[in-house]
Structure 1
Amino acid sequence: MTAGVDTPDGRGRTGLDRHGRDLTGNPNVVIRDVELLSSDWYVLRKTTFDFRHADGHWSRERRETYDRGDGAAVLLYDAERGTVLMTRQFRLPAYVNGHPDGMLVEAAAGLLDGETPEEAIRREAAEETGRAIGAPEPVFAVYMSPGSVTERLHCFAAPYASRGGVEGRGGNAEEGEDIEVLELSFVKALSMIGTGEIADAKTVMLLQWAALEGPFRALR
């Protein structure tokens, strides 16, 4: 008996080895086996599949995939004042892979956890920044690391109401979050990409979208 396969894992899940077995959308890919490697908080699988190459020959391939669910992110902006609302929090994976202190400046984001992307992003914005937001505008949905991570990130932009005392702390304390809230001029935030002060991919993409097509395109 294996937890997550035929008995419940720590989160009550079973059948985690069946994910992806029934895919038929690509005639050049035939799934042969899915092995569950880990099902702690997220799920790690090893999938064996046959792949037909452009010259017609088939090869047997194996890939590990990390499934943490899909997520959503939102760029909070005040077009009239030329500002954006960001968070800064500790990210262990960045810290152990060369970031000086692991404190990343980011757009508000989180996992869907069974909600729609818009519901999730309203919840995350409130938890992380303490702000209710205006109508979220869908911007794009992207696979952040498609070589190994299944997550698709739904990205939005939304206005926030400006008032005194924006900066402060946010986050869900029960989940160990300790988040600093930052209000930055958009011009400053955009320049922080070049200096490396903003190195988070979703945030870089949303800021560049805002400059090219979004609320700050007139500043180009």
Structure 2
Amino acid sequence: MSERDGIDQLADREANVILSPPETIGRGFMAYERYEVSLRRDGEPPLLQQRDVLRASKVAAVIPVDLARDAVVLIRQFRLPAHLATGRGDMVEIVAGRVDPHETATEAARRECIEEIGVAPDRVVELYSVLPTPGITDEQIVFFVGHVDSSSVLQRAGLAEEDEDTEPFVVSIEDALAALDRGAFANALLVSAMQWLALNRARLQEYFSRAA
């Protein structure tokens, strides 16, 4: 195997697949759809599957950082699925929300900061994206780092028309990374964001300089 083959083996790629039209089997805040899948592999008969998908679309997630105070802004918010899974539904999170059809992910990142912590970042830099649960939903999370003045963060925030209630708070980056190390929180977006912050803390000024 060549080095190029090894690199390609580690990358996601397009699938040779035929999908049926979606059958809507449930609809609430999001649609729940069923597909008949025919997955083709070279030299093998098609693999037939039935798969259900929660259509959740794209989400912008933001790590709001205050360089002057060496701090990060997090939020606390109740999540029913977490309560059902672990009994600890009062979760620590980063700013995040769905990208509306009329806006870009960057625009959504700025808007969500205003809604969830009460502060608009003066600089926003796109970092990376992940599919947190590709076995059940098409939700794609696009991560950003945003530069904020944490002295202006609200005590309570959230969008009233969405029954959203967030409790923003400011902590030192050191304390946030220590909490990551001891497994204090379970929200996957926060864990991923804090891992990125741990790897790139020394380069934050460089990231923000790109957006200046």
The equivalences for 1:1-220 within 5 A come to 26=14, 28-53=16-41, 56-100=44-88, 102-114=89-101, 115-163=103-151, 166=153, 168-215=155-202
Equivalent pair of 1:142/1:153 in contact (CA under 8 Å):
yes
Please report how far the alpha carbon of residue 213 of structure 1 lies from its aligned counterpart in structure 2 after TM superposition.
Answer: 2.2
State the alpha-carbon separation in 2 of the partners of residues 55 and 185 from structure 1.
56
| Higher normalized helix content (fraction of residues) | 2
CA deviations over 1:137-180 (Å, ceiling 9, x no partner): 111011111111101111100110132x6451110122211211
Note the C-alpha offset of 1:207. 1.3
TM-aligned CA deviation for residue 124 of structure 1 = 0.7
User: Normalized against structure 1, the TM-score is what?
Assistant: 0.80
**Paired residues, what number?**
192
Are the equivalent residues in 1 in contact too, given 2:118–2:153 (CA < 8 A)?
Answer: no
Supply the RMSD in Å over aligned alpha carbons: 2.1
Mark the runs of 5 or more structure 2 residues left unpaired by the alignment: 1-12, 206-212
Provide the TM-score with structure 2 as the length reference.
Answer: 0.83
- In 2, Cα distance between the equivalents of 1:193 and 1:199? 9
Please give the alpha-carbon distance, in whole angstroms, between the structure 2 residues aligned to 1:217 and 1:166: 20
CA distance in 2, matches of 1:160, 1:69: 27
Residue of structure 2 in register with 1:16 after alignment:
none
**In the aligned structure 2, how far is the partner of 1:76 from the partner of 1:199?**
19
Q: Which moved more, 1:68-77 or 1:30-39?
A: 30-39
What are structure 1's unaligned runs of at least 5 residues? 1-24
Partner secondary structure for residue 63 of structure 1? strand
- Bigger relative contact order, structure 1 or 2 (CA pairs below 8 A, ≥6 apart): 2
Instruction: Give the whole-Å Cα distance in 2 for the aligned partners of 1:139 and 1:26.
Output: 23
